[in-house]
Amino acid sequence: MTPSAQPNPEPLRLLFVKLQHIGDALILTPTLVAARAQYPNAEIWVVVRKGTEGILAGCSAIDHLISVAPNENDQRGLGSLWRDLCTLLSLRRKCFDYAFELSDGDRSRWFAGLSRARHRCANSNHPSLNGWWRGRFNRMADIPSEARHRVEKDFNLVTKFLPLGGDIPPLSFERPQPSTPSFTDELSDYVVIHPGTRWMKKRWLKAYWLDLGVRLLKRTPHIIISSGPDPKERAFARELTEKWGAARATSTDGQLNWAGLAGLLYRARAFVGVDTAAMHLAAACQCPTVAIFAYSVVDHWRPWKVPHELLHLGHQLPPRGEGQRPASEVMEKLTPEQVMEAVERLIRPISIHT
């Protein structure tokens, strides 16, 4: 007698919670891609903070993407708390097999630790994970944070309980399909720069950007200035455009979404910027990247798995804490000449990716 066929097992339901900044959301994508490759039938849910979901638009590993208001949102109140509760109740009904808390923060612990997932996983190596929170998780990993890229931190926590196998993939933002004609469609020889950042500690000197643009325009006929929607960023980008000439410099003027910027980066010969989400997107698009760092922790935030060069003082960096020098003094030591030399070493041939 032939044994009866066994029913196919239910696909895994996986929940990943990361309520951090835009670049942090993109940094999660290698783990998601690895999970999809290892468990192709899994149902993958991701919870991120509102405003970061756009940078995950190029990651096809995600089945369901939920955004919640950030902790510091000035408008957070009873209405926001109610929406959080409704989101949590909805997640609890999904009966996840695994829930991963990847933010090391209390708010993300609510969603992962109270999700009723069969395996609720968190990093025990964090001082804010107190006794009450430890009781909400039944799988704890000791993942050290020092000298480890944030991509590795996420990946290692997940694979501790859900084996992913193989090497950690690159960041993921799949090449978008062209939809409407763009002002850059006819360009095949350009460099993208992203000079703006809301973090004072990450800003390079304005005079240096102006100098670098002159040098770049001797190497390539066009510069595209990537700008976020912040009015100050847009004004700075316009100032650069006026200095270099509108015929050879174009600002995105805060009008492009992440997919639009990705389309530019896939075809650009190189990217130059400070430690921002745009830098990580350049890495996801495999655009050769020159990154200028002041006090950013290189081991945590360097461009991941892309040809790149870092300008950073390394062991010459003034110590943090008491006596720490202003970031502007640190950035002053990273000159346009050094950046241009790095661009020359990395810049890729014309039209190779058009």
Report DSSP state, residue 53: G
| Distance in angstroms (rounded) separating the CA atoms of residues 279 and 59 | 17
- Whole-number pLDDT of residue 4: 45
- Token pair 């468990």 in the structure block, residue: 39
Tens-level pLDDT at each residue, the chain (354 residues): 444 444 456 799 999 999 999 999 999 999 999 999 999 999 999 999 999 999 999 999 999 999 998 765 555 667 778 888 999 999 999 999 999 999 988 889 999 999 999 999 999 877 677 778 888 999 999 887 676 899 999 999 999 999 998 899 999 999 988 765 565 667 889 999 999 988 888 899 999 999 999 999 999 999 999 999 999 999 999 999 999 999 999 999 999 999 999 999 999 999 999 999 999 999 999 999 999 998 888 999 999 999 999 999 987 877 766 566 788 888 999 999 999 999 999 999 986 444
pLDDT of 178: 72
Q: Which helix (H) or strand (E) holds 217?
A: none
pLDDT, position 183: 59
The span from the CA of 337 to the CA of 293, in Å, is 15
Sheet containing 13-18: order of strands: 64-68, 43-49, 13-18, 98-101, 119-123, 139-141
DSSP letter (8 states) at residue 6: P
User: Would you say the C-alpha torsion 89, 143, 308, 330 has a positive or negative sign?
Assistant: positive
Q: Bridge partners of 64?
A: 45
Asked if residues 272 and 162 have their Cβ atoms less than 8 Å apart, the reply is no
Query: Please, where are the H alpha helices in the chain?
Result: 22-27, 29-38, 78-92, 106-113, 131-134, 150-161, 206-216, 231-244, 258-267, 277-284, 298-301, 327-332, 336-346
Residue 2 has what pLDDT?
40
What is the DSSP code string of 127-181? TT--HHHHTT-SEEE----TT--HHHHHHHHHHHHS---SSPPPP--PPPPP-S-
Sequence length of the chain is 354
pLDDT for the residue numbered 57: 94
Domains in the chain, CATH or no CATH each: 13-161 (3.40.50.2000), 190-346 (3.40.50.2000)
DSSP per-residue letters across 75-89: T-SHHHHHHHHHHHH
The whole-number pLDDT of residue 351 equals: 60
pLDDT at 6: 45
Distances 290 to 107, 180, 270 between C-alpha atoms, Å: 35, 30, 8
